[in-house]
Amino acid sequence: MLKLGLGIDKTTKKIAAFDADAQAFFNRVTAAGGTLTATEQTAVNTLVLELKGYSIWSSMKAIYPMVGASAAACAQNLVSASFTGSFSSGWTFASTGVTPNGVSAFMNTNLNPTVSINNANDGHLSYYSRTTSTGSFIEMGTIDGATAFDLVIKFSTVAGACINMVDTNVFTYTGTTRGLFIGSQNNTANVRKFFRDNTLIQTQTVAQNSQPNTIISVGARGPNFTSFGTNRECAFASIGNGLTDLQASDFYTNVQTFNTTLSRQV
Amino acid sequence: MVGYILTIEQKTQIQGVFYTEYQFFNCVQDINGVWFLLLSDEDKPEVAASEYAWTLNLPEGEYTPPPAPPFPPIE
């Protein structure tokens, strides 16, 4: 494996440089004591290029590609050196992703919506779940008093894109728990959208709250492990500003390509 | 799920403490209010290599979670 941020262009057989943001991520992983395979590096680099090409990258505050099969590697934020995560005890790490134990495990992102997301009418969370499971789980997010900013893939028989709203409004969902789930609010007051893969599952119109002033967790509803930890394996997670319907669809395409390259798509 | 049983003092000693640069202990109470430390197989070698290896010698027990708090109804 070449050490200077270079890869081999398969078409031209010439040495091609990695994207600068991708290389910076690789450097953070290495500095943390983690390692990535050449395939993982290529997949991450392609992901970054595609997200930039589809004008999605700038909406991202944190992307956790969950590559490297270690806490040190998976804690690193692809987007920047900010929002480096930390894992509680109770996670398993594998080439396919990271899996919380569902009762005590969470990842602290150090990301506070009030500080880091544009405004209360804006925001997204995404979680790529590789697990089919039943249970009362919330995959990621945070709650501050009555205001939630969380993603509910399937809590018993309900789901929700709970972006800056009271957690009293979810909708019936009996579909699969595998795939890329996105909860997004895109600068339209009261309107949130819940996507699975490239399908809009539900539009939720719910009274707007302000943003919670608490830290987002992955693997449970934060801050920390406030409640409802999940046991669904995570092969990608992101936090950021809201996405349009087109961006959400393109985002799924990019992330699915990423996970397919890593042979861990569902 | 099997975990390590902690006294309140032990829980206070390790709760939130990092055993690697990117991993920290999170203890939880079971249905009877007993504190548990639940470690994955990946956690154990890391803990063993830290100053908190003593936790791996704590008594083990079957962890039963308390009932989950209520979640809101469907809109």
Across residues A144-169, what is the average pLDDT? 92
Q: Which of B38, B65, B68 sits opposite A89 (nearest CB)?
A: B38
Asked if the model's pLDDT at residue A106 lies above 80, the reply is yes
Q: Which of A71, A104, A155 sits opposite B71 (nearest CB)?
A: A155
Binding-site residues on chain A for chain B (CB distance < 8 A): 32-33, 71-72, 75, 85-93, 101, 103-106, 136, 155-156, 158, 166-172, 204, 206, 224-225, 227-228
Residues of B in contact with A172 (CB under 8 A): 74
pLDDT in tens, A170-224: 999 999 999 999 999 999 999 999 999 999 999 999 999 999 999 999 999 999 8
Asked if the model's pLDDT at residue A12 lies above 60, the reply is no
Q: Residue A32's closest CA among A73, A79, A74, A77?
A: A73
pLDDT by residue, tens only, chain B of 75 residues: 999 999 999 999 999 999 999 999 999 999 999 999 999 999 999 999 999 999 999 999 999 999 877 765 443
pLDDT in tens, A22-75: 999 999 999 999 999 999 999 999 999 999 999 999 999 999 999 999 999 999
Q: Which of A33, A101, A158 sits opposite B74 (nearest CB)?
A: A158
**Percent of chain A at pLDDT exceeding 90:** 89
DSSP 8-state class, residue B68: P
Q: Mark yes or no for CB contact B69/A227 under 8 Å.
A: yes
The type of residue at B1 is M
Q: Residue A86's closest CA among A108, A117, A113?
A: A108
Q: Mark yes or no for CB contact A228/B68 under 8 Å.
A: yes
Q: Mark yes or no for CB contact B23/A167 under 8 Å.
A: no
Q: CA-nearest residue of chain A to B27? A: A104
Residues of B in contact with A148 (CB under 8 A): none
Map residue B32 onto helix, strand or coil: coil
Residues of B in contact with A87 (CB under 8 A): 22-24
ipTM for this prediction: 0.95
Residues of A in contact with B28 (CB under 8 A): 103-104, 225
Q: Residue B37's closest CA among B23, B22, B56?
A: B56
Q: Mark yes or no for CB contact B26/A104 under 8 Å.
A: yes
